[in-house]
Structure 1
Amino acid sequence: MSTDSEYIAALIDLHRGRDRQGPGDSDFSCHILSNLATLPLKPRIADLGCGSGAGALLLAQHYQSTVVAVDSAAVFIDELTARAKQLGLDRLIMPIQGDMANLDRSVGVFDLLWSEGAIYHLGFDRGLKLWRPLLTDSGIAVISELSWFIDRPPDPAIAYWQNAYPMMGTEAENIDRANRSGFRVLSTHRLPSQAWWVNYYEPLRERMQQIEITPITRSVIHETEAEMRMFERFSDSYGYTFYVLQAV
């Protein structure tokens, strides 16, 4: 029987060498950035749960400003560092291997906090409360969270996510959580389902053909394939919503 640490190591290995460790899309992110409230010319930026750096590198390119990029997995921090150097952005990327639940103001106070597909490790409500002190007054947070799109999702989807992520809420519930955590919700944006397939699931399927199969990796692959089948059936009921929040 595998331990939690062995399972997490296998999950990380499955995601190695991929541009993204979760659903996302650069054009979609750029659209959100282009419509943000006014930020300083050189905003202080953090990307929490940055993975191998899809968001952090985009933010550095977009703002030409330093991005503090935090992830707990050393392998992803190493990949980010290498990618930043290849793109000539290493002077703008400050990689930190650390726990995004235990950051404090000594890390910095930021004008823009970005996090894609990572806050679920903490829970949306808890994560917002932990991260609010990292923002300046009126600072902006852009955070994607797995969310129900409808009030009465199909029973199979409910059963699956009650087991996988029981804290998952509707968009309305998450807006209320944000309001109670020291934020004002400026806008919400649903990530198109195509971005899940093109930028995340299909590269994962390719990776599944490359890794060494062990009992642990077989379990990880089985669960990932189950997630894919669920999304294929019910992507009209749930997905990632990007919440654009302003500290108040």
Structure 2
Amino acid sequence: MNVDSETDYIAALIELHRGLKRQGPGDDEFSRHLLQELAAYLPVNPRIADLGCGSGAASLLLANDYHSRVLAVDLSAEFIAELSTRAQAAGLADFITPINADMADLNWPNESIDLLWSEGAAYQLGFENALTRWRPLIRSGGIAVISEMSWFIDDAPPPAQTYWQTAYPTMANELDNMARAKRAGFHVLITRRLPSAAWWANYYEPLKIRIQQLNSESSLAPVLRETEQEMALFAQYSDHYGYTFYVLQAC
């Protein structure tokens, strides 16, 4: 595999994350605490979408907790196939609809979703652009839970700034992201920062093992080294940035 093109780079990232429970940082108990805080805002059987679902960590949690149908969307056919297998194994296949599609171009009826969930995927469209595109899908008063890379301080150390200016140039602080959400048609109910321990336990440690398995694949070397650089940076500067979960109500 040659990673000279964007298509090859994405394919390398998919290969790196193949077989992992998560394709990004997250934590089931953290998510369940958020859902408990949302009980008053959602119907008993909410209509749910999980956008950029990967292999389905959040989709499985939502289906299990609500016993409602979850529309699980990802552009990667590989991850959608993994989700289907995992849903069958968990006895949740009847509650999950895996959809191999572009989350930026969903031909769904307006106001057809009560709870829109998306972990670590909105950045692919840009946070405000993603919210603007998704807002019409959510009923008035419905909820969106979106995790987004965010600066926790305004003056982050230069190594962190340099890395993320290249990796994610539009990454913003939490206040700016809340303003973006408001412009997109949402009221901000809650913000919660994903603890750094969850990054390591649920994402980076499994990813380290996967990197060791793939180290002999020389064609993947650029992606593997970049991922190792990301982990080393987070080990130093996790107090300065990370994932914030923005819990939003559609106005």
Q: TM-score, normalised by structure 1?
A: 0.97
- Any conservation in 2 of the 1:6–1:216 contact (CA below 8 Å)? no
- Structure 2 partner of 1:27: 29
Report percent identity of matched pairs. Answer: 59
Do the aligned partners of 1:47 and 1:70 also contact (CA within 8 Å) in 2? yes
Q: Which amino acid aligns with 1:170?
A: N
Q: Which of these residues, 197, 220, 223, is aligned with residue 223 of structure 2?
A: 220
What is the CA RMSD across the aligned residues, in angstroms? 1.2
User: Offset at 1:104?
Assistant: 2.9
Paired with 2:244 and 2:94, the residues of 1 have a C-alpha distance of 31
Structure 2 vs 1, CA of residues 212 and 233 (structure 1 numbering), >3 Å: closer, same or farther?
closer
| Aligned partners of 1:104 and 1:134 also within 8 Å | no
Is 1:45–1:66's contact at 8 Å kept on the other side of the alignment? yes
Q: What residue is the counterpart of 1:169 in the other structure?
A: 172
Which residue of the other structure, out of 16, 19, 37, is the alignment partner of 1:14?
16
Q: Give how far 1:151 is off.
A: 1.3
- How many residues are paired up? 248
The CA distance in 2 between the partners of 1:161 and 1:58, in whole Å, is 30
Q: CA deviation at 1:6?
A: 1.2
Instruction: Give the aligned residue type for 1:103.
Output: L
Unaligned runs of 5+ in 1: none
Q: Does the 8 A contact of 2:126 with 2:170 survive in 1?
A: yes
Superposition deviation, residue 24 in structure 1 = 0.2
Structure 2 gaps of 5+ residues are: none
What is the aligned counterpart of 1:59 among 55, 62, 84?
62
Match of 2:184 in 1: 181
Deviation, 1:215, is: 3.8
Among 233, 239, 244, the alignment partner of 1:241 is: 244
TM-score, normalized by length of structure 2? 0.96
| Structure 2 counterpart of 1:118, from 94, 113, 121 | 121
Instruction: Find runs of 4+ consecutive structure 1 residues off by over 6 angstroms.
Output: none
The question of whether the paired residues in 1 share the 8 Å contact of 2:41 and 2:143 is answered with no
1:107 Cα deviation after fit = 8.9
SS at match of 2:21: coil
1:210 aligned counterpart, secondary structure:
helix
- The structure-2 alpha-carbon separation of the partners of 1:204 and 1:107, relative to structure 1 and needing over 3 Å to count, comes to farther
Q: Work out the CA distance in 1 between the residues paired with 2:31 and 2:170.
A: 25
CA shift at 1:108, angstroms?
A: 7.4
Tell me, yes or no, if the aligned pair for 1:39 and 1:111 is still in contact at 8 Å. Answer: yes
